Homo-oligomer: A and B are copies of this chain.
Amino acid sequence: MSALSEFSLIQQYFQQLTASRDDVLLGIGDDCALLQCPPDHVIAVSIDTLVENIHFFADVDPEHLGYKCLAVGLSDLAAMGAQAAWFTLALTLPELNEDWLKRFSQGLAKLAKKYSVQLVGGDTTRGPLTISIQVHGFVEPTKALRRNTAKVGDMLYVTGTLGDAGAALQLQLQEWDDEALNTDDKLYLRQRLEQPTPRLEIGQNLAGLASSAIDISDGLLADLGHILDKSRVGARLDLTKLPLSSTMSKVDRTMAERFALQSGDDYELCFTVPAEYSLHIEQRLEGLCTHIGTITDDDGIYFIDDDNALIALKGTGYDHFPV
């Protein structure tokens, strides 16, 4: 009743692939890693699990899977305005497949190197394919971006474009298609689903300026809903301003809006900014974010449509607009 002992080899394997940081006093290979937090900062941590057939398809490219597992965690650090530093990996594998491991670790390493995050610990066990990654970063405590601090009158923004990942998922499930999409479009969407970009630089640029932030993992309405619930405010969203990729701009507008509002996995940031900082933020993040609405004292979310009419949304998220 012990794990496959050969699995300890994996740690050695992964260890070489990530950044090497001065603030890691002791990395992989002891009972604990020892990590140094810079003065006047606090540690930000988040753990996420991805399970085969729940969060990813069994036939996903292992390199993309490795990339995505880490991206999901880094996106949480981005949403706090934190700098990424270290991660741990708990990997449960049905078998020791060296080709799979090599490609999975390459995907992880690609992202780890890009953001200078170091793998500092892990556990490898035998069992159904399950991947838990905990990310660690640091942030000045007064500058951390929380969910419960949006204020009435704040401007509402999102980074990047919305709905790409959700559309890719529905395409892959063969539950939706649009004749306007060519092969390159579908490749682009799939890349957005499998290799999301954690918005770390943007998060750090927002730290101390934005009044709240969250990353969009469950869909704009659901995640904005978390900000609104925790901050006890409402919002008005201008549907005409939802940022769509050139690919999603080709498809039926109603469907594109639904994906943008409800589908998860985009890993963009949704954030609010006090009106007096909005110009500064828009200049600092030119082209990287879009103003999509305003925080109000409404009860929940209202949409503003093409005709400038207000439409109430009952509740937030998935249940109300099934794709």
Contact = CB atoms under 8 A, between A and B. Distances in A.
Interface of A: 1-3, 5, 25-26, 29-37, 39, 42-56, 76-77, 79-80, 82, 88-90, 92, 120-123, 125-128, 130, 132, 134-137, 139, 141, 144, 146-148, 169, 173, 213-215, 218, 230, 264, 318
Given A32-B79, A36-B141, A130-B130, 16 more contacts: A2-B218, A26-B144, A29-B230, A30-B146, A31-B79, A31-B213, A31-B214, A32-B82, A32-B135, A35-B44, A37-B37, A37-B43, A47-B89, A48-B90, A48-B123, A90-B134
Contacts of A121: 45-47
A152 B45 CA distance: 40
Contacts of A36: 42-43, 141
B25 A33 contact: no
B88 A1 contact: no
A136 B127 CA distance: 25
A159 to B, nearest CB: 14
Given A32-B80, A35-B43, A2 B134 contact: no
Given A32-B80, A44-B33, A139-B34, A49 B123 contact: yes
A47 B88 contact: yes
A262 B126 CA distance: 21
Contact of A54 (B5, B122, B127, B144): B127
Contacts of A1: 54-56, 169, 173
B90 A132 contact: yes
A264 B1 CA distance: 10
Contact of A34 (B30, B33, B47, B144): B144
A194 to B, nearest CB: 13
B127 A123 contact: no
B45 A88 contact: yes
Contact of A92 (B49, B82, B218): B49
21 contacts: A26-B146, A29-B147, A30-B80, A32-B46, A32-B77, A34-B144, A35-B42, A35-B43, A35-B44, A35-B45, A36-B43, A43-B43, A45-B88, A45-B120, A45-B134, A47-B89, A47-B123, A48-B123, A49-B123, A49-B130, A51-B128
A2 B47 CA distance: 16
A32 B264 contact: no
B123 A132 contact: yes
Contacts of A46: 31-33, 121
A237 to B, nearest CB: 21
Contacts of A88: 45, 47, 134
A251 to B, nearest CB: 20
B31 A76 contact: yes
Nearest to A218: B2
A321 to B, nearest CB: 15
Nearest to A23: B42
